[in-house]
Structure 1
Amino acid sequence: MTNESQVSAEPTWPVDPNLQTETRVAWYYYVGNLTQQQIADRLGTSRVRINRLLAACRESGVVQVSINSNLSNCVALEQTLAERYGLRGAVVVPTPEDEQRLREAIGVGAGNYLNEVIAPGNTVALGWGRTLVNTWRAMRARTDHALSVVSMLGGLAHCPRLNTFEITYGFAERLGAECHYLAAPIYASSREERDLFLAHETTRYTLDKARGADVAVLTAGDLDESLVVKYALTEKNVGTLKDAGAVGDVLGHFIDADGNLVDHELNKRTVALKPDDLAAAGNVVLVAGGTSKATVTRAALVGGYIDVLVTDEAGAEKLTQDYA
C-alpha cells in the first residue's frame, strides 16, 4: 500500500462533477486494475481522454491526497505487523464500509502485490478460499507460459460454488500458466486411504512441485464460515474440533491458537501440504482479513508459516491491539 498511485474510495474533499469523474477514473485505473481502454469503454469516452484525466489527477493532487491521509494508518499497520510477527512484509488495505466487499478489497491488495513478486518461470502454489477468486481477478493478465500454477490441497466431489480446481484454473488462465491439479479429495475416508493417495505417483509429483514453489498463496479459515467448514465438515466435526482446541484451518489442517496442529482425526485424513511444508516455499503469502478471522490469522502468523500477510485495516488493528 505504499504505491503513490493508490487512491481512496472515500474522498474527503468537496465533490464536483469534474472531480467526481477524475476520482472514478483514478480508482478504476490504480485500484480496479482496468486498462485505459477498458475505462474508456465503461465511461463511454476515448482512451485519449482517460489518459488526460489521469494526468489531471496527478497534477491536481487527487491521487496524492489519499496517500497522505486516508492510507497513512494502513502503512503504519504494515510496519507494525511485520515487526510484531517477524514477517517479510505486509499489505493493509482500507476496510470497506460494505462488509460484502471485504474480500474484493483484500483481493485487490493481494493481486497488486502478486503482480510485483511473481516472476517469469515461477511456480505458484495455491490454497482454497473465496478471497483468492478476487485475488486473481485483480491481477494483470500475462502470457508467460513458463509459469506454473499448482494446487496445494485436494478438492471436493460436490461443491455448489467454488472448488480448489476453479481457484487453480482461474490463476492459471490469468497468468497464462500451465496448470497442475491435485486430483484427490481434501479429506480421505481414513488415514490408510490418505496414505494411499499420498503414495500415488501423480499426487506425489503435484505436492512436491507445490512444496518447492517460488510463491505460495493461501487463506486461513475460521470455524464458522470457511469453505472447508461449510462444504467438507459436519456439525459433529466442528464440535469435536473446538473441543480439541482448534481455531481454524490452514491448508485443510486444523490448528490451535498457537499455530500447532490439533490432535484430531481430520488432520490424519487431509490430502494436502502440511503447514510445516510451507517452509520450503520461497514466499508464503496469507490473504485473510476481517475481525472475525483475526484469531486464526494470528495462529498462522505465530506458527511461523507466513512470510507476507495481506489483510484489511480493521483486521490488522485487531491483530496489533488485541494480541499485543
Structure 2
Amino acid sequence: MRTLLNIQKQLLPDLIDVFRTRYRILHYVMLTGPVGRRTLANALNMTERVLRAEVDFLKEQGLVEIETIGIRISESGESLLLDMESVVTELFGLTDMEDRIRQAFGIQQVIIVPGNADDAPLVKRQMGHAVGQVLRKHVQPNDIIAVTGGSTMAEAADQLSRTTAWKGTWFVPARGGLGESLEFQANTIASMMAKKTGAQYRLLHVPDNISEDAYQSLMLEPNIQDIVQHIRKARIVIHGIGDAMVMARRRRVGEDTVRILQEKGALAEAFGYYFDKEGKVVHRTLMLGLRLEDIQGMELVVTVAGGRSKAEAILSVLRFGHQDVLITDEGAALELVKHLP
C-alpha cells in the first residue's frame, strides 16, 4: 500500500488532493452529525461552490444523505471511513511519526489525528473519537476506568456509545474539581461516559487543590475513604496534559508556588503533578484521588493531548514515562519529532 501511495503522490498529485478533501468532508460530517453546507464550508475553509460539488458527488456515491436539517453520513460512508483509516495515516504522513514517537518513548501505541487543535476545535473531537476506539478495544467486564477533566476528555465522552463490552464497568474521576466550567470537570466527564455506555459511575465531591489540614480531615470521612479506595483500584486511566503555568493559575496557587514552578522549570501538569523538561516531578498538588504510585501501577495509561502549543508539555510527560497509549494530533507530533534523534 505504501508503494502505491508513493506512486500516486508522484504521478497523480491532484488525485491525492481530491482524496484528502473528500476524506475531510466525510470525517467532519461523521463527527458532527447533520450539518449545514455553510457551517461545513467554514469549518473546512472551503468555498460553498466547491463544497457543493463535492457533496453532490458524495451523495451520488451513497456516502452522505442530504436532509432538511443538514448533511448526514450514510452507513456506507461510515464503513468507508473505517476502511480508509490506515490509508489516511499514511497519506498524511502520520504513520512514520507514530512509529518514531512510539519507539523513542517505549509506548505501546501512538495515534496521531490530522490537524492542529490550536487552530481547529474539530481536532479535539477526532482525538476524542480515538479515545473511544482505544477503550472499546481494551475494556474488560467489571473494569474501573479513571478519567481526568478537560475539553478533549469531554469530546471523548461524547463519542462513546453502548456495547456489551461495558457490562459491569465503572467510570470514576481521577481527581476532584478545579472549580471551573462544570462540563469539563472530571466528575462530569465520568458521569457522561457512564451514561453514554450504560456503565456505572461514582463521583468525588471535593475540591482539587486543598490544604494539608483539609486533606487530613477529609480522609477521615468514611464516604470519602470509600470512593478514594474505589478510584485507586482503577485498571485504566485516561488523562490529559496541561501547560504548567496555565494549570497553576487555574488552580489559583499562591504566587510563591508559581515562582517555585518557574524556578524549577515546570513545563507540564498531569494528574496534579508538575514536570520539568527532563520529565522529573518538581511539584505536586495535594489532592484526593489518584497518586503517582497508582498511575505507575496501572495496567493501561492513556494520555490524550494535542495542539502545537502543548508539544513541550507532552514531551515532558513522555520523558517521565508510564504511558501505554498516546493520542495526539499532527500539530503536536510535528514538534515532538523535532526533539527525537
| TM-score using structure 1 length | 0.76
Matched, 1:174 2:196: yes
Q: Rate the CA distance shift 1:53–1:67 in 2: closer, same or farther, 3 A.
A: closer
Taking the aligned partners of 1:23 and 1:314, their CA distance within structure 2 comes to 16
Given candidates 207, 211, 226, the residue that maps to 1:185 is 207
Given candidates 126, 146, 152, the residue that maps to 1:125 is 146
Q: How many percent of aligned residue pairs carry the same amino acid?
A: 20
Matched, 1:13 2:18: yes
Give the corresponding residue for 1:85. 105
Aligned length: 296
Matches within 5 A, 1:264-283: 264=283, 267=284, 269-283=286-300
Given candidates 276, 283, 287, the residue that maps to 1:256 is 276
Unaligned runs of 5+ in 1: 1-9
Taking the aligned partners of 1:218 and 1:130, their CA distance within structure 2 comes to 11
For 2:332, give the aligned amino acid.
G
For 1:313, give the aligned amino acid.
E
Taking the aligned partners of 1:287 and 1:102, their CA distance within structure 2 comes to 12
SS where residue 112 of structure 2 aligns? strand
Q: Rate the CA distance shift 1:179–1:256 in 2: closer, same or farther, 3 A.
A: same
State the 1:86 CA deviation: 0.8
State the 1:40 CA deviation: 4.9
* Root-mean-square deviation (Å): 3.6
Deviations 1:238-264 (A, max 9, x none): 3332123321211122222233321x4
State the 1:23 CA deviation: 7.3
Give the corresponding residue for 2:121. 100
Deviations 1:207-256 (A, max 9, x none): 33323322210001113544x63354456543332123321211122222
Unaligned runs of 5+ in 2: 1-14, 35-63
Taking the aligned partners of 1:168 and 1:223, their CA distance within structure 2 comes to 24
Q: Rate the CA distance shift 1:322–1:203 in 2: closer, same or farther, 3 A.
A: same
For 1:136, give the aligned amino acid.
A
Q: Rate the CA distance shift 1:42–1:214 in 2: closer, same or farther, 3 A.
A: farther
Deviations 1:94-113 (A, max 9, x none): 11483333322322222222
Taking the aligned partners of 2:146 and 2:85, their CA distance within structure 1 comes to 35
| TM-score using structure 2 length | 0.73
Contact 1:142 1:174 in 2 (8 A): no
SS where residue 12 of structure 1 aligns? helix
State the 1:54 CA deviation: 6.2
Give the corresponding residue for 1:317. 334
State the 1:289 CA deviation: 1.3
Taking the aligned partners of 1:320 and 1:103, their CA distance within structure 2 comes to 20
State the 1:196 CA deviation: 2.9
Matched, 1:307 2:324: yes
Matches within 5 A, 1:150-161: 150-157=172-179, 159=181
State the 1:69 CA deviation: 4.7
Q: Rate the CA distance shift 1:321–1:198 in 2: closer, same or farther, 3 A.
A: farther
Taking the aligned partners of 1:76 and 1:200, their CA distance within structure 2 comes to 51
Deviations 1:110-134 (A, max 9, x none): 2222232223322111112211011
Matched, 1:50 2:74: yes
